[in-house]
């Protein structure tokens, strides 16, 4: 009998190249999961076309139609639960999520961020890195908590910042690294290798079990 699939719900707002990397990794057999649903808060997001091309349900939940973040998040949770999602991936989702989502999927909401956190949280992280003058930036995959890009870090990958870089070139180089890292981390989670520990008096930390 085939094992039941690990079901991802991918939240997007824009171009969806990280969604594409997930879909490609599934197609290649490197990520043993299925995308159960893609939810966008932006009706024109190119990510929706990518979902449709992969025959994945693509649903728009427009945040502007809701009176509060919580009401919007409740509608998103309803869609995710209706599609039996095990793990929620924020893949270029440009909204902060509230406890309404986090409580529905405890330690099961993952974000990809285009910098080496805790450096450069929030928006336009690549521009922040350039303005600061770092010579190495990168990307971070982390569990989401109630803060902005503050949740326990699962994995990071470095990317060099070159003298000639502008925001566009650095963004492209970091994005390529995101496409490599995110599917790997999702496979770890699907395999149950990623554990969040709560050291007494310390921050929650992630341990990734390597090996069989």
Active site residues: 113
Q: How far is the CB of 112 from ligand GAR (least distance, A)?
A: 5
Residues forming contacts to ligand GAR in the complex (CB under 6 A) are 12, 14-18, 47, 91-92, 112-114, 125, 175, 178
Q: How far is the CB of 88 from ligand GAR (least distance, A)?
A: 14
Q: How far is the CB of 147 from ligand GAR (least distance, A)?
A: 12
Rounded to 5 degrees, what angle do the CA atoms 59, 96, 25 make? Answer: 55
Comparing CB distances to ligand GAR, the nearer of 36 and 92 is: 92
* E runs forming strands in 103-171: 109-113, 136-143, 153-160
Question: Is 12 in contact with 39 (CB distance < 8 Å)?
Answer: yes
Closest residue to ligand GAR in the complex (CB): 92
194: enclosing H helix or E strand: strand 194-197
Comparing CB distances to ligand GAR, the nearer of 9 and 92 is: 92
Comparing CB distances to ligand GAR, the nearer of 51 and 82 is: 51
What is the DSSP secondary structure assignment for residue 98, as one 8-state letter? P
What is the rounded CA–CA span in Å between residue 177 and residue 172?
9
87: enclosing H helix or E strand: strand 87-90
Comparing CB distances to ligand GAR, the nearer of 125 and 194 is: 125
Q: How far is the CB of 25 from ligand GAR (least distance, A)?
A: 13
Long-range contacts of 162-167 (CB under 8 A, 24+ apart): 165/130, 166/130, 167/124, 167/126, 167/127, 167/130
């Amino acid at each position: 009998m085939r094992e039941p699939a690990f079901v991802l719900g991918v939240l997007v707002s824009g171009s969806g190249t990280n969604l594409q990397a997930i879909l490609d990794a599934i197609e290649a057999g490197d990520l043993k999961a299925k995308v159960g649903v893609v939810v966008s808060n932006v009706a024109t997001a190119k990510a929706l076309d990518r979902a449709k091309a992969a025959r994945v349900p693509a649903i728009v939940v427009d945040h502007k139609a809701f009176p509060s973040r919580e009401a919007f998040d409740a509608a998103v949770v309803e869609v995710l639960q209706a599609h039996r999602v095990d793990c929620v991936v924020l893949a270029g989702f440009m909204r902060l999520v509230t406890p309404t989502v986090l409580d529905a999927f405890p330690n099961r909401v993952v974000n990809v961020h285009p910098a080496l956190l805790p450096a450069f949280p929030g928006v336009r992280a690549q521009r922040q890195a350039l303005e600061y003058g770092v010579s190495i930036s990168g990307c971070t995959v982390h569990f989401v908590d109630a803060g902005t890009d503050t949740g326990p870090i699962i994995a990071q990958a470095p990317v060099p910042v070159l003298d000639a870089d502008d925001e566009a070139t650095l963004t492209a180089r970091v994005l390529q690294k995101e496409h490599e890292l995110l599917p790997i981390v999702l496979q770890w989670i699907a395999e149950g290798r990623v554990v969040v520990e709560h050291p007494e008096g310390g921050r929650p930390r992630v341990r990734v079990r390597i090996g069989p």
